[in-house]
A and B are shown apart, each in its own frame.
Chain A
C-alpha cells in the first residue's frame, strides 16, 4: 500500500520559517492535502491540491509538491502555529485515503 512519511517533530523559533515534509513514492504525481490539528481539537484543512488554501487560512502557510516530496511551509512562525500537521493523498491504485503519520511542530 502507499505510504506517506513525515518527520515526527519539527522545531522552529518564532518569526522563522518551518518546513514540514511528506515523502511518498512519486508523490509529485498525486494531489496532496494538509491538515492542522491543535491539542484537543479536530483537524482543519489548511492546504489542498498541493498549494491552494481554503478561505481564512493565512498566506503564511503554503504548499508545494514535486518528485518524492511534498512540503508544507509556514513562514514567520507564531506561537499559535504550534500543532500537529498531517498530509493526505488518495491512493488510486487501491481506492483509499492515506494519511501521513503526522508532524508535531514546536515553536521554541
Chain B
C-alpha cells in the first residue's frame, strides 16, 4: 500500500522560503493515476489545498498561493517537494502531502495522506 512521509524544517524565518519533501513508498511516483499534492491546515482551521503535480510536470496551484508556490517531482528518489516563498506568520500550519487520485473528467480526490508536519514561521 502507498505510504507518504513529509520531511523538512519545523521552523522558518519570515520572508524566507519554506521547503518540504514528501517521500512516496509502496508505489512509483510515475503512477499514471496520481497527481501528488500538498494541503495545509493552520492551527484550529480547516484544510487548504496548495497545489498538485503530475510526474510529467503538469501542475495545478491554488490561485491564492500560486505566485509563491513551486511543486516539483524527483522520480529518481520517488519524492516530490514543496517550496513556498516569502513566508509570513500566516503560513504557519501543518503541511500534508497526499496522493491526488484522478479519475474521469478531472474528478480527483486525496488518498492516502502523509502524517503531516508542523511548520512555524517565526524569527
Contacts and interface: CB of A to CB of B under 8 A. Distances in A.
Report whether chain A binds chain B. Answer: yes
Contact of A49 (B62, B106, B107, B113): B107
7 contacts: A33-B109, A42-B113, A42-B116, A45-B109, A94-B63, A95-B106, A96-B62
A99 to B, nearest CB: 4
Tell me the dominant secondary structure on chain B's binding face.
Answer: strand
A23 to B, nearest CB: 15
Contact of B47 (A31, A49, A95, A99): A99
B115 interface: yes
A102 B46 contact: yes
Nearest 9 A/B pairs, CB to CB: A97-B49, A45-B111, A33-B109, A42-B113, A102-B46, A31-B107, A99-B47, A48-B109, A101-B46
Contacts of A54: 111
A13 interface: no
B63 A88 contact: no
Nearest to B114: A42
A48 B116 CA distance: 21
Contacts of B39: 99
Given A43-B110, A96-B62, A99-B49, 6 more contacts: A54-B111, A86-B46, A97-B37, A99-B46, A99-B47, A99-B48
